[in-house]
Structure 1
Amino acid sequence: MQPGDWVYCVNPHEYVFGWLGYIDWIRPPECKVVFVRTRLNQPVREERRILLSRLEPAGVSTDWTSSELNALIDLALDTRDEEWFYELAARKGGERVDTV
């Protein structure tokens, strides 16, 4: 993992378990993550120092539902992460992205 990577907190004992964020800096064995979505997909902005071992890269999951992909695509647009947007859009398999 490196700064700028999107990650999930995978430790169920952490307050931010299941939250999505990006790595701001790394100083092994810990890093600072800026969390932007809760596990209930609510927007949030919380900075937290956390052990690297408690994180998993966001791109690891390949079994996202269509609504989860839509939420991640919205997040990629909100953060202007063009590369991630195209990666997620490709996972939709040409399916239309829902609009609000």
Structure 2
Amino acid sequence: MASLPDLDRRFSRKIEAGKGIQLSADDLDLFVSTGAYDVFRQAVAEYQRTQCQQRNARSRSTSAANSLSTNGQGATSRSSGMTTSDSVSEAQARLRVILKPGG
């Protein structure tokens, strides 16, 4: 059976090398039992929610390329677009803390 320190070492080495990793059923059980999978799913849900909100906002507004308006003095300006949410970055940071070696 995989141990948490062993799985951590394998993750860390693969991340540093930029390589993929194959997980056994024991590895997955350990990943789920630590709560890491719950955090991952939360990050996915927040990412999907943000994508839907951004898509909805884009569909309700016009794009910067097609939106020219006058400022009352005959000059035109472009739409500034929209900003992105930090919720996905926050969830990813929480996941990094949980999966951090020795954490």
- TM-score, normalised via structure 1 length: 0.27
Bigger helix fraction = 2
Q: Which has the higher contact order (CA 8 A, sep 6+)?
A: 2
Pick the structure with greater CA Rg: 2
Bigger strand fraction = 1
- TM-score, normalised via structure 2 length: 0.26
